[in-house]
Amino acid sequence: MKKLRYTTRALAAGLALTASSTVMAAVSAEKAAQIGLTGTPLTPLGAIRAGNADGSIPAWEGGIATPPAGYKQGDWYIDPYADDKPLFTIDAKNYQQYADRLMPGTIALLKKYPDTFHLNVYPSRRSAALPQWHYENSVWNASRTRFCDPPPGPDREYRCLDTSTYRPGVAFPIPNNGAEVVYNHTMYFFGKSYVWRGYAFNAFADGTFAETVAIERSLLLQYMTPEEKPKDPLFTGNGGAMWCRSSEMVEPPRQAGSMYGGCNYFTSQDFSAYLYVPGQRRVRKAPEIGFYDSPSTGSDGLRTADSTTMFGMTGDEEWYEYSEPQRKEYFIPYNSYKLAAPENGDFKKLVMRGHLNPDPIRYELHRVWAVEMRLKPKYRHLSPHRVVYFDEDSWAGAAGEMYDAGDQLWRVQEAYLMQFYEVPMLSFWGDNHMDIINGRQSSNNTFFNVGAGRGGSPPDFVNPPDSAYFTPAGLRKYGVR
């Protein structure tokens, strides 16, 4: 495959990298007046409220804030746009006429798999909606939220949030720089808690794959009221836990019973994690979990810890320098209800050579925040150069590109976004991390419908998990012996 380098098609030419030693203040009251609940140029989350010039992206009108008629809590999701038909299909033969709205990673997939990869493009539906309290707090944050001043140390300017200036919502809805964009995404709204039994795959270049199953549990304490937050010291240190996560491997058998739990904090992004190892029957501190390019759990080394949601801030120091963020219009997976339907939950039909079956995947034109990142000289990472794309209506990660040490395009990432209207929030139903060089691919444990015929169910965002799952004592209690 020809060596692919980052081009001006992804971001405007001449992006200047911001000096990560500069901490930007909150925006002025005048600038913050652009954001509001209604009648303002920007939505409460900082997205452009209006549609685009040619009408291919509509105005945001509130999204799907309540479930459609007939939906019941715990059911598989009803597709609100089931009657939509594709507007056109982009493939290896015609992609050049759409090249200004295709990310470099998408173009690379079209070139590498000309006979099997394509994009079915549907009408753009701005379905993203969040709770009213989140909107109100995000508007309040726009002119107030700041990082800690002074920062806790070198390369930690964006690792500590001044909680006296923040309310639960988007911290920087009008971002000053790329670091604030990435921070917004790292902490994007994912409900207050969840529990799910998720399915994933690790695939070889010929399309054969191994399935993994994990039970994922999370508490997003940054969005909880004081009464809802657990009181264990694990959750109250370092300015308070922002989010806590626990993962329990179910399959394959050789990994079954392995379980970890831990938290990230307002004053530190160094994931404080503990691991229960069944073979040793003990709990140990696990600093490698969630740390930059450590292998992501269950990924067979095909995903890095910091690419779980395309990219997220990890570690206590910032290793990357960020470009000035740019709003771009790209075709991305969106409103993936067809992919999430029980009848499409079969990896044997979904996993193809090098990519997923494109037929059940819906692509739409949306505005995204595009941020380019380059590794600081004193650090080392498997991907010293990467680009990430965040949905402007939700701050969820939509896609990403990772480059290797030779600056060759290496991994192409997609997240299959949709509105979880019962929460409400917009996030991903399955994702894929495709190695464009060796043809392998891997997903997170978020294809829930793969378990539809064997007792599986959609994620539970209503009943919080026991907080003990995140503590060392709790891991000992729940660990399989």
Phi, psi of 345 (to 5 degrees): -90, 60
Of 34-43, 72-81, 206-215, 224-233, give the lowest mean pLDDT range: 224-233
Q: Would you say residue 117 has pLDDT above 70?
A: yes
Which positions ≥6 away from 462 have C-beta within 8 Å?
A: 73
Q: Determine the pLDDT at residue 480.
A: 67
Q: Would you say residue 350 has pLDDT above 90?
A: yes
Six token digits for residue 185: 């995404």
* Mean pLDDT value of segment 243-262: 93
* Mean pLDDT value of segment 123-152: 97
Q: Would you say residue 286 has pLDDT above 90?
A: no
Q: Would you say residue 13 has pLDDT above 70?
A: no
Q: Would you say residue 1 has pLDDT above 80?
A: no
User: Torsion over CA of 173, 175, 181 and 187, rounded to 10 degrees?
Assistant: -40
* Mean pLDDT value of segment 117-129: 98
Please tell me which residue, 281 or 3, carries the higher pLDDT value: 281
Amino acid at 293: D
Q: Would you say residue 8 has pLDDT above 50?
A: no
Q: Would you say residue 53 has pLDDT above 90?
A: yes
Residues linked to residue 434 through DSSP beta bridges, in sequence order: 412, 441
Six token digits for residue 9: 């098609």
- For residues 175 and 322, the answer to whether their CB atoms sit within 8 Å is no
Q: Would you say residue 5 has pLDDT above 60?
A: no
DSSP structure string for 167-188: -SS-S-SS-SSHHHHHHHHHT-
Helix intervals (H) in 351-471: none
The secondary structure of residue 75, as a DSSP letter, is S
Q: Would you say residue 189 has pLDDT above 70?
A: yes
Q: Would you say residue 2 has pLDDT above 50?
A: no
Six token digits for residue 247: 């993962």
Task: Give percent above pLDDT 90 in the chain.
Answer: 84
Q: Determine the pLDDT at residue 313.
A: 92
Of 40-49, 56-65, 123-132, 253-262, give the lowest mean pLDDT range: 253-262
User: Torsion over CA of 307, 308, 313 and 317, rounded to 10 degrees?
Assistant: -70
Give CA angle at 429 (397, 196), nearest 5°. Answer: 115
Q: Would you say residue 264 has pLDDT above 70?
A: yes
Q: Determine the pLDDT at residue 183.
A: 96
Dist. CA 113–CA 91, nearest whole Å: 10
Q: pLDDT category, 481, cuts 50, 70, 90?
A: low
Say how many C-beta atoms besides its own lie within 10 A of residue 93's C-beta: 11
Q: Would you say residue 190 has pLDDT above 50?
A: yes
Q: pLDDT category, 98, cuts 50, 70, 90?
A: very high
Q: pLDDT category, 426, cuts 50, 70, 90?
A: very high
Q: Would you say residue 3 has pLDDT above 90?
A: no
Helix (H, G, I), strand (E, B) or coil at 279: coil
Q: What digits encode the pLDDT tens for the residues 289-332?
A: 888 999 998 899 999 999 999 999 999 999 999 999 999 999 99
- For residues 409 and 4, the answer to whether their CB atoms sit within 8 Å is yes
Dist. CA 199–CA 201, nearest whole Å: 7
Q: What digits encode the pLDDT tens for the residues 358-416?
A: 999 999 999 999 999 999 999 999 999 999 999 999 999 999 999 999 999 999 999 99
Phi, psi of 65 (to 5 degrees): -85, -15
* Mean pLDDT value of segment 252-279: 90
Burial (CB count <10 Å: 0-12, 13-18, 19+), residue 164? exposed
Dist. CA 363–CA 56, nearest whole Å: 13
As separate numbers, helices (DSSP H) first and strands (DSSP E) second, the chain gives: 7, 16
Q: Which residues of 230-262 are buried (b: 16+ CB within 10 A; e: fewer)?
A: beeebbeebebbbbbbbbbbbeeeeeebbbbbb
Q: How far is CA 66 from CA 18, 77, 208, in A?
A: 40, 13, 39
* Mean pLDDT value of segment 114-137: 98
Q: Determine the pLDDT at residue 166.
A: 96
Six token digits for residue 452: 């539809």
Six token digits for residue 249: 């491997």
Phi-psi region of 283 (alpha: psi -120 to 50; beta: other; left: phi over 0): beta
* Mean pLDDT value of segment 227-254: 92
Say how many C-beta atoms besides its own lie within 10 A of residue 51's C-beta: 15
Q: Would you say residue 12 has pLDDT above 50?
A: no
Domain ranges of the chain: 1-190+313-460
Six token digits for residue 128: 């993203």
Amino acid at 206: D
Q: Where are the beta strands (DSSP E) in 252-285?
A: 259-265, 268-277, 282-285
Q: Would you say residue 17 has pLDDT above 80?
A: no
* Mean pLDDT value of segment 91-115: 98
Q: Would you say residue 14 has pLDDT above 50?
A: no
Judging by DSSP bridges, how do beta strands 425-435 and 441-442 pair with one another? antiparallel
Mean pLDDT over each residue of the chain, to the nearest integer = 92
